Amino acid sequence: MIEVRPLALEGVLEILPPKFGDDRGFFSETYNAERFAAAGIALQFVQDNHSFSAAKGVLRGLHYQLPPRAQDKLVRVVKGSILDVVVDIRKSSPTFGKWVSLEVSAAKWNQILVPKGFAHGFVTLEENTEVIYKVTDYYSPQHDRGIRFDDPSIGIDWPLEASTLQLSDKDRKAPLLDGSDIFP
């Protein structure tokens, strides 16, 4: 049975699927719709994404999609490790602008569930890190948005110096939370 641990923001969960090993290796059922639903997570995933980052310090995010194309995300690491960061961008939420982080790694074999209404990003903590995540809606360029990783109003405590991080131009030029399209 999967183990589910709530994190500091409502709806953001750490998920630990069981892993069965022997001298040949291991087997793990990382997603099962019935078992997730029994644990209170009834989502229909429609797309899987896989990212590879060659270097330590690759930062991807903070990303989200606006309604009606908002996405829930189930994120796991199959090689290496990341610090995964989730920011509440629901304007009417009592935790608006607050963030939570979780180290997600192949060694810990944990996952993080990021609900709609939250911006998501991560930084790689090791070279050659591979991240796989499921989403509940398809990528929609016209609904795709981002927030700057170093927005002082959010104050994320990234584990590496900003000057050492590798970002895409899109992420480097993302607007601050104050200037972003966000959830009501």
Q: Among residues 63, 138, 139, 143, which one is catalytic?
A: 63
Sheet holding 13-16, edge to edge: 3-6, 13-16, 111-114, 73-79, 129-135, 47-53
Token pair 């990783």 is found at 149
What pLDDT, on a 0 to 100 scale, did the predictor assign at position 69? 98
Q: Among residues 31, 64, 133, 143, which one is catalytic?
A: 133
State pTM to two decimals.
Answer: 0.96
What pLDDT, on a 0 to 100 scale, did the predictor assign at position 143? 97
pLDDT tens column, 103-146: 999 999 999 999 999 999 999 999 999 999 999 999 999 999 99
Residues near 181 by beta carbon (within 8 Å), at least 6 away in sequence: 66, 145
What pLDDT, on a 0 to 100 scale, did the predictor assign at position 180? 80
pLDDT tens column, 137-183: 999 999 999 999 999 999 999 999 999 999 999 999 999 999 888 88
Specify whether 133 is catalytic. yes
Specify whether 139 is catalytic. no
